[in-house]
Amino acid sequence: PHMARRVAQYLVSSPPCFEGATAAAAAAYQRDGAVCIRGALRGWVDAVASGIARNLASPGPHFESLPLGATSARFVNDYCNWRRIPEYESFVRESPAKALARAVMASERSIFYHEHVLVKEPLAASPTPWHHDQPYYPIDGDQLLSLWFPVDPVPLDATLLFVRGSHRHGYYAPRKFETQRNYDGSDELPTMPAIADAPHEHELLGWQLQPGDCVLFSGKTLHGAVGNASESRSRRVLTTRWMGDDARFAPRRWEISPPYTGGLQAGDPMECGLFPRLL
């Protein structure tokens, strides 16, 4: 809780949020690297919550529970289960998510990459380490984003935080959350700055969220979060990842996560059987 308060005091006051994927929302996304959209997914909260419960009861091959020190509470995550969890597949194919992604990316198409469920149980002390997503993926281009959709209320002291404008800073080395060590083979990239140690050196964005709200952020935007200090409420989130027109397959010298390529070769557009265009 002390760390949460310390970081929260450096948040940008009243960052913009929007009621839909308006031109102003797209402009804020392009400028800041992250944007909050209120209420657009309100009709999908129950279905996605049911999908998360199904996922946790039947974990996939990538399921992970991060170590949490003295508490027994877990920070769990799993991904690439959307074709076997019907609630996830319905959300991906039928919800407004694909249209929100296309609009703020300023893309003609919306190509689905994968989903990622993240659950911090009550009193799960483990932070989400500062990182950005795109170096983990074999994808180059500016049109790649995550849509972060919580099905529980998220207070400011548990929300995801973003370094404003950091999507323009280039790539940092991907690192293992469990060990906090850079991936083998990523020496060509600079190490992630220690943002949690000096939050006052950065403009931080973060939003208090209600179920139905979402945050869309670039694959290049630096982000992280503190632990869940609530004694009674989990922080359950379904993140879906979307690509646009300029996304191209880009082999890495290090391990990629998720470990799937769709059979693509360097420079290929990302749309393929494994990564379908949905809009």
Residue range 166-195, pLDDT digits in tens: 999 999 999 998 888 999 999 999 999 999
Residue range 204-248, pLDDT digits in tens: 999 999 999 999 999 999 999 988 989 999 999 999 999 999 999
Locate 109 and state its tokens: 């198409």
Cα separation of 195 and 35, whole Å? 20
Q: What does the angle CA 47 – CA 53 – CA 57 come to, to the nearest 5 degrees? A: 145
Is 60 exceeded by the pLDDT of residue 85?
yes
pLDDT band at 78 (very low <50, low <70, confident <90, very high): very high
**What confidence score (pLDDT) does residue 5 get?**
56
Is 80 exceeded by the pLDDT of residue 9?
no
Is 80 exceeded by the pLDDT of residue 124?
yes
Torsion of CA 86, 275, 33, 153, to 10 degrees: 10
Is 90 exceeded by the pLDDT of residue 127?
no
Q: Looking at 4-13, 112-121, 133-142, 254-263, which range is the least confident one? A: 4-13
**What confidence score (pLDDT) does residue 138 get?**
98
Q: What are phi and psi of 140, to 5 degrees?
A: -115, 160
pTM recorded for the entire structure? 0.96
What mean pLDDT comes out for the span 55-76?
A: 85
- Taking alpha carbons only, the member of 174, 175, 159, 168 closest to residue 221 is 168
What mean pLDDT comes out for the span 60-80?
A: 84
**What confidence score (pLDDT) does residue 8 get?**
67
**What confidence score (pLDDT) does residue 215 get?**
98
CB 239 within 8 A of CB 113: no
Q: What does the angle CA 118 – CA 226 – CA 48 come to, to the nearest 5 degrees? A: 25
Q: Looking at 12-16, 49-53, 214-218, 222-226, which range is the least confident one? A: 12-16
CB 256 within 8 A of CB 262: no
Q: Contacts from 153-156 at CB under 8 Å and sequence distance 24+?
A: 153/209, 153/210, 153/211, 153/233, 154/208, 154/209, 154/235, 155/208, 155/230, 156/8, 156/11, 156/206, 156/207, 156/208
**What confidence score (pLDDT) does residue 134 get?**
98
What mean pLDDT comes out for the span 82-111?
A: 98
Q: Looking at 20-29, 41-50, 96-105, 197-206, which range is the least confident one? A: 197-206
What mean pLDDT comes out for the span 45-68?
A: 93
Q: What percent of the chain has pLDDT over 90?
A: 83
What is the residue-averaged pLDDT of the chain?
94
